[in-house]
Amino acid sequence: MALERTFSIIKPDATNRNLTGAVNAVIEKAGLRIVAQKRIRMTQEQAETFYAVHKERPFFGELVSFMVSAPVVVQVLEGENAIAKYREVMGATNPANAADGTIRKLYALSVGENSVHGSDAPETARIEIAQFFAGNEIAG
Ligand code: DAT
Ligand code: MG
């Protein structure tokens, strides 16, 4: 399998608790390379666009408010099978169901404040990376 890229966000609950380095340590220990990274304050519009697939869900408003409530760290991760591998490293959406050693098991506070985002498929990875990074900001 060729090298693949996925999009990651370290969410406000994690940046608020100063866990960027701790999350990155789990990412790097799993063999994923952080090939782009920046700390930003997401705008309401960016968050609504990013999570547009969930706009009919009852938690959409809460999700968008959470994502703009504090800085986030957006990242591009690269590695063999990076999309599926990062989903594994993140753990289940609800930390109560996340496996031991996963980022969400270690650090998430709740299903909403669950510390990290990772793309779920190659097409979404491409779209999500392009929403936040120009090609020349990624150094693989
Ligand atoms: P994931 O982030 O694991 O890909 P998702 O795409 O289903 O999960 O949902 C996106 C985010 O929305 C998730 O990380 C947290 C929030 N969310 C999902 N289900 C929720 C729920 N039942 N209550 C509150 N927030 C929820
Ligand atoms: Mg998702």
The residue whose CA is least distant from atom 25 of ligand 1 is: 112
Name the residue of 59, 60, 86 to mutate for ligand 1: max ligand atoms within 8 A of Cβ.
59
**DSSP per-residue string spanning 33-44:** EEEEEEEE---H
Give the tens place of pLDDT for each residue, 81-120. 999 999 999 999 999 999 999 999 999 999 999 999 999 9
**Whose atoms come closest to the Cα of 88: which ligand?**
1
pLDDT at 9: 99
Whole-angstrom CA distances from 33 to 7, 27, 58, 69 are 12, 8, 35, 27
The residue whose CA is least distant from atom 26 of ligand 1 is: 112
Please state the ipTM of this predicted complex: 0.98
| Binding region for ATP | 11, 59, 87, 93, 104, 114
pLDDT at 21: 98
The set of catalytic residues is: 117
Name the pLDDT band for 2 (thresholds 50, 70, 90). Answer: confident
| Backbone φ/ψ region at 61: left (φ over 0), alpha (ψ -120 to 50), beta | alpha
